[in-house]
Amino acid sequence: MAPWQVGLVVMMTVGVAVIIFGVLWDRERNRQRAGELRRAPDRAIPGYAGPDPAYVSGPAPRDGSLELGPERRDALERDLRGVPTREAGLASPRFVTDPPSRRAVLDHPLVAVCAEPVATMRELLPVLTHAAQDERALVVVAPGYAAEVLATLVANHEHRVMRIIAVIAAGDALTELAVGCGATPLSRADLQSGWAPAEALGTATTWVSSTDSTWVCISRP
């Protein structure tokens, strides 16, 4: 083979190798970029030195009544007349605390608003921690709940391990509740990464929910 032919073969071989390397390198770079877009945001997670929030995972009998007295129930009815009604209801009728009115009533709760359905209890651990630290009742608002999550929350409510209720809301109703109580809607990526700072939670003077409606009472200065 003539020298020029040998040189041509060598140049073609090197060229093909460079092209193959470039394709593989570009493919790996695109894969890494795609992974970065799917990964949860890198956010600092405040440390917590206290005990882990306790919750039960099975059915349990009620441990004490949360039913309102007649005077408090009448006063609440008067207060609710001037409060907008939101199309958001209890995720289960078993969250009802006041059977005569068929409503759940919580005073001074923290409010966690989840932008997406809650798939696992692990996602709620950050907000459960805040409620346990502050010894506050907790309202969780989300478009939906996995069956095992709802069962665990109901068990905690009925056993009085925590004062907690789960509310289903979506679309405008979810946004209005978040704005009304000053909560920042938390994405699934936020919750899975453990990012749920105290300032992202809302508050209410009194939270009232039935199986199809919700009222949020806020004291104004």
Average pLDDT over residues 28-45: 53
pLDDT value, residue 16: 44
Confidence band (pLDDT; 50, 70, 90) for 52?
Answer: very low
- Looking at CATH, the fold of the domain delimited by 70-217 is given as GroEL (3.50.7)
Mean pLDDT of the chain: 80
Q: Which residue has the tokens 């006063």?
A: 75
The predicted-structure confidence for 101-127, as pLDDT tens digits, reads as follows 999 999 999 999 999 999 999 999 999
Confidence band (pLDDT; 50, 70, 90) for 161?
Answer: confident
**Position 84 pLDDT exceeds 80:** yes
pLDDT value, residue 26: 55
pLDDT value, residue 160: 82
Q: Which residue has the tokens 């039935």?
A: 210
pLDDT value, residue 2: 58
pLDDT value, residue 55: 53
CA distance 62 to 153: 13
Confidence band (pLDDT; 50, 70, 90) for 66?
Answer: confident
Confidence band (pLDDT; 50, 70, 90) for 20?
Answer: very low
Average pLDDT over residues 155-180: 93
Average pLDDT over residues 9-14: 49
pTM listed for this prediction: 0.72
The predicted-structure confidence for 208-221, as pLDDT tens digits, reads as follows 999 999 999 886 54
Q: In sequence order, what E strands does the chain have?
A: 89-90, 104-107, 110-113, 138-142, 164-168, 202-203, 206-209, 214-217
CA distance 83 to 105: 14
Domain boundaries, the chain: 1-32, 70-217
174, two tokens: 């979810």
